[in-house]
Amino acid sequence: PVAVARSYADAPEIDGNVFVEDIDKSKIQSGDLLEVEITDADEYDLFAKLITIKSA
């Protein structure tokens, strides 16, 4: 499973996304803050793995 996120500085539908891979989406909600480690990048997007979740 993959969750789609963005950094605090990115605007929806304008800037790239952060794709958090291998995440249990039942443990996160919209507005949660995820600490991730960036593992890869392409032209527009970042790919990451989850480190911790801080609930909203």
Provide the whole-model pTM: 0.82
In the prediction, which pLDDT does 56 show? 74
For residue 23, the SS3 value is coil
* pLDDT tens-place string over residues 1-56: 899 998 888 888 889 999 999 999 899 998 899 999 999 999 999 999 999 999 87
Distance separating alpha carbons of residues 40 and 46, to the nearest angstrom: 6
Q: Kindly state the tokens that stand for 34.
A: 């995820």
pLDDT value at position 50? 95
Q: What is the set of domains in the chain, with CATH numbers? A: 2-54 (2.40.50)
Structure tokens at 17: 């996304």
What CA–CA distance (Å, rounded) separates 49 from 42? 15
